[in-house]
Structure 1
């Protein structure tokens, strides 16, 4: 119970002060004139002023509140290496027993764990949140149980009490770390790319000579090198294939180092072609020729060589050759000397005219069988006697003409195989579909009847199932045949148009064996710690996928069909690292999360990061390798740290539970006092007059 006098004036304070001033003036005037009893009248005026100020006695009933000690416990991944976890558990147990023995003191334990975003140890963020939930006046002390590797120093809160750092770890701890200083996201195929690596020792590391370093690409057989420690290493590599290449670097675990989690680094580099070299041979000018040229020239990564045969050399034409032909057709240079420099050769309505001898066409056949790509876009000439199907090129074409030409409108359709094939899958959705799922794209006006090769893949046809787009593999290369020259109608928007650019782009990339357009493919897309496993296949079902985790254990998942030819499964990766996928036919490698989480970038315990904030509060740093300190109480302003002990500051905070306010005197009491004082003054003045 505590009491105090307060004032609750009956009038506003300016009027009360005015009344006091008036009483003072009257008293001074009476004194100046020498009137008897002036002092008693002045006291009466003061009593009336006090009555207007209404003094009251306020009594508070208070309950004492306990002091709070915040104990922030670092439970992140770096705290589970070496002896740190045991040190933390032992220290927390002793701290708990000591604080429980203190009178009127509570303890709040604040655990700090890793999230999924690889932000490291958010120790000060957790402390800030805890301080926001507790009254600052009740905080008697703060204890941080950690290895000191906090990654959020920028959000250090204002610390209202002595803060102490209890540091885990041993003085002789050391660790070896593999660092990738420089690794590009993209690299050009067939050109070396330079990566900068470094192996460094941290802490109380012993003397070390060169150490082995292994490099594996896509989980294949590793290559081993011997590299020095503590020096940057420039490593030139040539990517083996296009698309994503997963490179894993690893140095073996040394005796005595804290952890091997930072002995591995994974880099993903996308292999791309420098320039796509394409040769377009147009047999004659026609409406679709410009479409081919515009498509290929619009891609800055394409080097296009385009020749249009304006007329054959034996044609009867009065136009002088020097005015008709821009340059001589370099047949030998293109089809003998530099044929293997091209990534794709397109024959657009070409025919046999003697300009390209059969021996040169045979070079094209050999080019395809060795891994090249040929696309043939046909017109009516393909069905006649001058058809290039009658040249050696016919040996590799996926279909042969029957001689029949359909000069009537038709709407291209995807075959059942085409709905699953990556070249054509999903094309209808680009232009929209009707209620029955039929594409809303425009019609074409001509189709050549062909007989497809038994091994070819028919991905597009007309409404009567006459083949329109046929694909095939020949040796190491690929060939495609489009049995119509009307694709340009989609570009011009005829009858609503269609996705011609996307179709031709996919077709060209499939022919050039880009990994993204393989019919049979297995890959995974990381989304944080979740892997989206994708299996593309032309089969009706996808086999199970076996996942080999970083610790060597295996898990099996069954992908389900989400679109024709596309099967997916989600897998929650239990930890960051390299995961290997296989379904018995295809293999893939994917890195989930960083190979070296932020927690393991710097693993040696240190007080350098947090000690500036703790010492500013009067707290200190204690190495738990020397034992857990005693907890004592210390008065505010005194040192709260000493050898073998840390201090907390009792706050003596209380809470008001009841409040009682009573006037010192009732109004009639003040009036009685004032009347008595005035009467005394009057009597005093009368006695003086009689004298």
Structure 2
């Protein structure tokens, strides 16, 4: 029970205050005139004012509420290092026992793990959310059980009670980490770019750790190369990309004895390799309607440097015109095919035939260029089936099909072969064409070929080879057995996907990664890996996934399109995953290679210092033992050597309220009358 006097005036407080002032004025006048009953008159006025103020006695029946102490337990990844889990469990047991021994006090435990999307430890967010569920009047204190490595200190709430920190970890802890300070998202192939790395030691580094470390570097999952590098200094690493598309570079530090973790000893950098300019040499044997098709296609791409020559006046043509009067540009055969052939990414022979312009030694140099990594595309016309065919030259050693000397002149619609339905050059080409109801227009010429190797991806009359692709040495060769692709460009019978076909063909020959027949790739989104495997072989596929912890998972892949197998893998943790399928291997990072939780692993209370001191709390290392918990008055120091404090709140719940007037109104009026009469009698003759 608890009682208090309250007032419920019969008139507004402003009127009551005016009456009190008026009564005081009359009382002063009485004193000034020397009236002996002035004090009786004052008491009478006071009785009247009390009557108007209507005093009452309020009695409350209160139910006391318990004090609440919050224990926020950090169970993030950095808290799993060394013996921190054991320290945490012991501290929780000690806090539970201490709070249980206090009267009218309860403990609420809140645990938090790593935030999603590598958000780190959101300790203050967890504290704010826990406080939102507790009445501030009952909060006696909050205890943070953590290593002090949090990432939301700016969200520290306003505490009405002491904030304490129990710090895990040990003074002897130390760790080594690899930092990628600068890495470009893309770089030009065969041009040097600079990466900046740094190796830092944190904590109580032992003398035996040394000032150098072993760093291994692996490119695209290949064999690593090991280097000895200094610690504590920026390392400028020159890198030259060798191929287009995604280049995956993996860095790995050798684990040092005694360091907390090796999870921050690795990093994966993905750099997209792009070509500065694609140089293409187009040699047209003679003017024809399809010549402009090739030229328009290649000139429409701003990244392509096109060198185009058309043979307008072959050597055998003798019309008597003096050479000095000709405006034609001489064909620089020696410069192009001996001195600068290696500078081209692709050479196209468009309806070209042997006329003595290119001697055999030049064509033999082209064959050597292909075997060393170049690319040659032959768009064959009728001359390819004649005695002057390019096949009757050193190029026959690299061509995947031989002409039979027969030229078929009849209408036909190009068809994608079974193998072509799986090849990225022609895969989905039929579905991509929506014109003319999906039907392709006809072509009217086919040079009959006998394919002796390579992949036939398009067929013509009677299923004969129309487009044959092959790899020769390190280079690539394509042979198209017709010069009528331009009919699609002109829209004959509705046309066809001529530009898309030629674009894919040209980019496949220039080794664009997205058009590789045999490829293994993965795209990471959050904790999900979407794995894609391309293959020309029709067989069940699976991929072997090795996680950051060394665990191996075999994931079956489903054929979603001809030649394309996909699968989805949910990574259990952030880190580096190695994918392997037969001879193909790649590395992908799920989240950062070193998660935010492992950027700083040494336990420290520096980040919490300001928030804790503002409430007069303390930061106590658990290495010295779990502290006692005491009750301290509000505003007093709440931490000391071996102890932390909480503030009792004495909160209660009002169960019932009773209001009783102190006296009836007539009693106040009677008292005022008696006092007034007394004053009159004292001041009168009696």
TM range (shorter): 0.7 to 0.9
**Contact 2:443–2:485 (CA<8 Å) still a contact in 1?**
no
Partner of residue 404, structure 1: 407
Give, in whole Å, the separation in 1 of the partners of 2:276 and 2:119.
36
In the alignment, which of 606, 631, 634 is matched to residue 632 of structure 2?
634
How far did residue 377 of structure 1 move? 2.3
**Contact 1:40–1:677 (CA<8 Å) still a contact in 2?**
no
Deviates more, 1:48-57 or 1:619-628: 48-57
Q: Note the 1:137-536 alignment, pairs <5 A.
A: 137-207=137-207, 208-315=210-317, 325-382=327-384, 387-399=389-401, 400=403, 403-406=406-409, 408=411, 411-432=413-434, 440=438, 443-461=441-459, 465-488=463-486, 490-491=488-489, 498-536=496-534
Aligned length: 683
Partner of residue 101, structure 1: 101
Deviates more, 1:631-640 or 1:331-340: 331-340
Q: Note closer, same or farther for the CA distance 1:48–1:380 as it changes in structure 2 (3 Å cut).
A: farther
Report the 3-state secondary structure (helix = DSSP H, G, I; strand = E; otherwise coil) of the residue aligned with 1:420: coil
**Contact 2:435–2:494 (CA<8 Å) still a contact in 1?**
no
Deviates more, 1:477-486 or 1:674-683: 674-683
TM, length-normalised to structure 1? 0.86
Query: CA offsets, 1:58-115, max 9 Å, x none?
Result: 4333221111111111211212222322222212211111011111111121212113
Is 2:665 aligned against 1:670? Answer: yes
Q: Note closer, same or farther for the CA distance 1:451–1:652 as it changes in structure 2 (3 Å cut).
A: same
Give, in whole Å, the separation in 2 of the partners of 1:346 and 1:283.
11
Give, in whole Å, the separation in 2 of the partners of 1:690 and 1:203.
99
**Contact 1:310–1:324 (CA<8 Å) still a contact in 2?**
no
Structure 1, unmatched stretches of 5+, are: none
Deviates more, 1:104-113 or 1:364-373: 364-373
Structure 2, unmatched stretches of 5+, are: none
**Contact 2:84–2:169 (CA<8 Å) still a contact in 1?**
yes
Partner of residue 539, structure 2: 541
Q: Note closer, same or farther for the CA distance 1:406–1:12 as it changes in structure 2 (3 Å cut).
A: farther
Give, in whole Å, the separation in 1 of the partners of 2:357 and 2:228.
58
Give, in whole Å, the separation in 2 of the partners of 1:63 and 1:311.
111
Root-mean-square deviation over aligned CA pairs = 3.8
Give, in whole Å, the separation in 1 of the partners of 2:189 and 2:546.
29
How far did residue 632 of structure 1 move? 0.7
Give, in whole Å, the separation in 1 of the partners of 2:95 and 2:309.
85
Give, in whole Å, the separation in 1 of the partners of 2:612 and 2:8.
46
Deviates more, 1:515-524 or 1:646-655: 515-524
Give, in whole Å, the separation in 2 of the partners of 1:459 and 1:385.
27
Partner of residue 598, structure 2: 600
Deviates more, 1:514-523 or 1:605-614: 514-523
Give, in whole Å, the separation in 2 of the partners of 1:430 and 1:16.
91
TM, length-normalised to structure 2? 0.87
**Contact 1:340–1:367 (CA<8 Å) still a contact in 2?**
yes
Give, in whole Å, the separation in 2 of the partners of 1:45 and 1:491.
112
How far did residue 14 of structure 1 move? 6.6
Give, in whole Å, the separation in 1 of the partners of 2:592 and 2:681.
104
Q: Note closer, same or farther for the CA distance 1:405–1:614 as it changes in structure 2 (3 Å cut).
A: same
How far did residue 642 of structure 1 move? 1.3
Give, in whole Å, the separation in 2 of the partners of 1:551 and 1:34.
101
How far did residue 48 of structure 1 move? 8.3
Q: Note closer, same or farther for the CA distance 1:679–1:262 as it changes in structure 2 (3 Å cut).
A: closer
Query: CA offsets, 1:125-167, max 9 Å, x none?
Result: 2112212222222221121111111122222222222112222
Report the 3-state secondary structure (helix = DSSP H, G, I; strand = E; otherwise coil) of the residue aligned with 1:294: helix
Q: Note closer, same or farther for the CA distance 1:334–1:12 as it changes in structure 2 (3 Å cut).
A: same
Give, in whole Å, the separation in 2 of the partners of 1:209 and 1:40.
96
Deviates more, 1:440-449 or 1:206-215: 440-449
Give, in whole Å, the separation in 1 of the partners of 2:682 and 2:440.
128
Give, in whole Å, the separation in 2 of the partners of 1:481 and 1:469.
6
How far did residue 19 of structure 1 move? 8.4
**Contact 2:115–2:122 (CA<8 Å) still a contact in 1?**
no
Give, in whole Å, the separation in 2 of the partners of 1:152 and 1:163.
16
